[in-house]
């Protein structure tokens, strides 16, 4: 069978994608290709550049605590019936956190805690989607994450490195309706970095395989109108650029001194935080690092001493590391989660509770040693200054210099704004 005959059989876009994914695995050692997506037109409206903090964050590190972090047992301690197994400890910034976060308490003067987050979604997958994108899940629509929005408005952040990377996440979903070239590069094991960049996939062999793939593309493109073909070609071109680049060293955390790696911790989240610092240092604009294990319906105390301690050490190490390198003034770190936990402590844990929860921002564009908003005395609802997930996203976007309030038209003809039309929380901006 000739190449053109083979290409003619690849009439269906999804069949073609499956083939390309297999070809990528064989040719380049890649395990994932970007999801299909289309370009979006921009219609400019009034941005928020007049507010403080605009554009100060050249990089964003998005820490995702999957499962639902208990606000009461971390950044919003309570007394009485709501109190959990941890005690409240004072910080140098004047507010309190729980005893599960001793290292975070030491860097409290560098962070901004938002204690009045609120949402309506209390199911894991949907709440996680909301926090990653700023939009509630609607039918088959796939919304972009922050990295894709930033690439759309600001372009690529590096000639060779990807504009966004997601760490410890099995899916590279993220480009939404934007082009496949806007999808984040997935890193499943931060200690392994970017695998399969040498050996069997050496440059010469890769170029031969790419040539074969290009021949298949020409046959396919002649018979099927596929707007994603160029995005895939760009994907491969970017891959070659990266694999030839000295910037590959950004993915190698073994180059860090042992003392630095030990300070972060040996777990995957900790090593992911260290990798994130290396990546933004080399020019990656957006890095998402996932931490699992926060669904604490039972044995909360044991899990906080384990999962909570890993987060505490890694988060504090990341902030201190960025500060010591002079990067905290240009990098915004966001601590996010799906929802909070109920005030009632039953069966050794707490149930899902989206009505109020906490997030944290630290670094470029936001105030330091500051607490915004408050939950009520029990930690059941917002007492003052509620913040939606959309407003949280808009705040991060504003700090990163994105034109919040600018409307884009999706390929399906729907007008969309980053943060789902929400505005930044001006009180936390600096």
**How many secondary structure helices (H) and strands (E) does the chain include?**
12, 17
Whether residue 111 has pLDDT greater than 70: yes
**Percent helix, percent strand, percent coil in the chain, to nearest 5:** 40, 15, 45
Read off the pLDDT band of 232 (50, 70, 90): low
pLDDT at residue 359, rounded to an integer: 98
pLDDT at residue 243, rounded to an integer: 57
Going by the DSSP 8-state scheme, the letter that residue 349 receives in this structure is B
Mean pLDDT of 75-87: 96
Give the torsion sign (CA, 424, 283, 314, 108): negative
pLDDT at residue 6, rounded to an integer: 36
pLDDT at residue 31, rounded to an integer: 41
Radius of gyration of the chain (CA): 22
Token output for 111: 């962070």
The span from the CA of 276 to the CA of 369, in Å, is 23
The span from the CA of 241 to the CA of 258, in Å, is 30
What tens digit of pLDDT does each residue of 61-70 get? 999 999 999 9
Instruction: Tell me what percent of the residues of the chain surpass a pLDDT of 90.
Output: 71
The span from the CA of 177 to the CA of 125, in Å, is 19
CATH number of 37-193+252-428: 3.40.720.10
pLDDT at residue 219, rounded to an integer: 60
pLDDT at residue 210, rounded to an integer: 57
Instruction: Tell me what percent of the residues of the chain surpass a pLDDT of 70.
Output: 77
Backbone φ and ψ of 180, nearest 5°: -60, -25
pLDDT at residue 193, rounded to an integer: 85
The span from the CA of 188 to the CA of 192, in Å, is 8
Quote the pTM value: 0.85
Going by the DSSP 8-state scheme, the letter that residue 160 receives in this structure is S
Least confident of 225-234, 321-330, 344-353: 225-234
Whether residue 279 has pLDDT greater than 90: yes
The answer to whether the beta carbons of residues 321 and 389 sit under 8 Å apart is: no
Whether residue 352 has pLDDT greater than 60: yes
For the chain, give every domain's residue range. 1-31+196-249, 37-193+252-428
The answer to whether the beta carbons of residues 145 and 184 sit under 8 Å apart is: yes
What tens digit of pLDDT does each residue of 241-263 get? 665 567 889 999 999 999 999 99
Mean pLDDT of 128-144: 93
pLDDT at residue 222, rounded to an integer: 56
The answer to whether the beta carbons of residues 361 and 111 sit under 8 Å apart is: yes
Least Cα distance to 261 among 317, 218, 307 occurs for 317
Token output for 120: 């309506």
pLDDT at residue 180, rounded to an integer: 86
pLDDT at residue 211, rounded to an integer: 61
Q: What is the SS3 assignment for 163?
A: coil
pLDDT at residue 10, rounded to an integer: 36
What tens digit of pLDDT does each residue of 292-305 get? 999 999 999 999 99
pLDDT at residue 33, rounded to an integer: 46
Mean pLDDT of 268-275: 98
What tens digit of pLDDT does each residue of 1-29 get? 443 443 344 334 344 444 444 434 333 33
Whether residue 381 has pLDDT greater than 80: yes
pLDDT at residue 1, rounded to an integer: 44
Whether residue 194 has pLDDT greater than 70: yes
User: b vs e for 119-147, b when ≥16 Cβ sit within 10 Å of the residue's Cβ?
Assistant: bebbeeebbbbbbbbbbbbeeeebbbbbb
Mean pLDDT of 190-204: 65
Angle at 43 between CA 37 and CA 46, to 5 degrees: 130
Mean pLDDT of 136-161: 93
Q: What is the SS3 assignment for 225?
A: coil
pLDDT at residue 49, rounded to an integer: 85
Least confident of 16-30, 119-133, 407-421: 16-30
The span from the CA of 215 to the CA of 10, in Å, is 13
pLDDT at residue 42, rounded to an integer: 61
Q: What is the SS3 assignment for 254?
A: helix
Mean pLDDT of 113-122: 98
pLDDT at residue 247, rounded to an integer: 82
Read off the pLDDT band of 332 (50, 70, 90): very high
Residue whose entry in the numeric block shows the structure tokens 């808009």: 394
Q: Give me the chain's average pLDDT, please.
A: 86
pLDDT at residue 27, rounded to an integer: 36
Least Cα distance to 390 among 135, 19, 98, 10 occurs for 135
pLDDT at residue 241, rounded to an integer: 63
The span from the CA of 71 to the CA of 73, in Å, is 5
The span from the CA of 101 to the CA of 319, in Å, is 14
pLDDT at residue 242, rounded to an integer: 62
């Amino acid at each position: 069978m000739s190449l053109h005959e083979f290409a003619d059989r690849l009439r269906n876009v999804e069949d073609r994608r499956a083939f390309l994914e297999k070809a990528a695995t064989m040719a380049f050692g890649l395990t994932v290709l970007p999801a299909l997506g289309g370009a979006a037109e921009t219609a400019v409206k009034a941005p928020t550049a007049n507010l403080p903090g605009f554009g100060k964050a050249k990089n964003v590190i998005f820490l995702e605590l999957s499962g639902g972090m208990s606000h009461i047992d971390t950044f919003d301690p309570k007394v009485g019936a709501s109190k959990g197994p941890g005690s409240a400890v004072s910080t140098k910034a004047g507010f309190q956190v729980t005893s599960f976060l001793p290292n975070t308490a030491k860097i409290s003067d560098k962070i901004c805690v938002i204690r009045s987050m609120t949402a309506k979604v209390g199911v894991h997958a949907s709440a996680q989607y909301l926090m990653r994108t700023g939009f509630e899940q609607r039918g088959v629509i796939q919304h972009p994450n922050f990295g894709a929005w930033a690439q759309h408005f600001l372009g690529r952040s590096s000639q060779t490195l990807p504009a966004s990377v997601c760490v410890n996440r099995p899916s590279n979903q993220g480009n939404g309706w934007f082009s496949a070239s806007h999808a984040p590069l997935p890193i499943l094991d931060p200690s392994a970095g970017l695998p399969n960049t040498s050996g069997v996939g050496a440059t010469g062999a890769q170029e031969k395989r790419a040539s074969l793939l290009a021949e298949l593309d020409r046959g396919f493109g002649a018979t099927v109108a596929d707007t994603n073909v160029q995005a895939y070609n760009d994907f491969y071109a970017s891959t070659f650029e990266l694999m030839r680049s000295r910037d590959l060293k950004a993915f190698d955390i073994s180059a860090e001194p042992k003392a630095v790696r030990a300070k972060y911790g040996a777990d995957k989240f900790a090593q992911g935080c260290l990798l994130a610092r290396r990546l933004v240092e080399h020019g990656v604009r957006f890095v998402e690092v996932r931490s699992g294990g926060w669904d604490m319906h039972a044995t909360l105390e044991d899990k906080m001493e384990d999962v909570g301690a890993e987060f505490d050490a890694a988060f504090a190490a990341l902030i201190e590391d960025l500060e010591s390198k002079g990067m905290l003034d240009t990098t915004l770190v966001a601590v996010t989660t799906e929802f909070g936990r109920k005030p009632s402590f039953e069966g050794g844990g707490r149930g899902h509770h989206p009505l109020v929860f906490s997030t944290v921002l630290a670094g470029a564009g936001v105030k330091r040693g500051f607490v915004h908003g408050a939950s009520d005395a029990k930690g059941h609802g917002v007492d003052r200054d509620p913040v939606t997930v959309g407003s949280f996203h808009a705040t991060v976007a504003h700090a990163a210099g994105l034109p919040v309030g600018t409307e884009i038209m999706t390929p399906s003809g729907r007008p969309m704004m980053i943060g789902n039309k929400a505005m930044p929380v001006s009180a936390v901006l600096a």
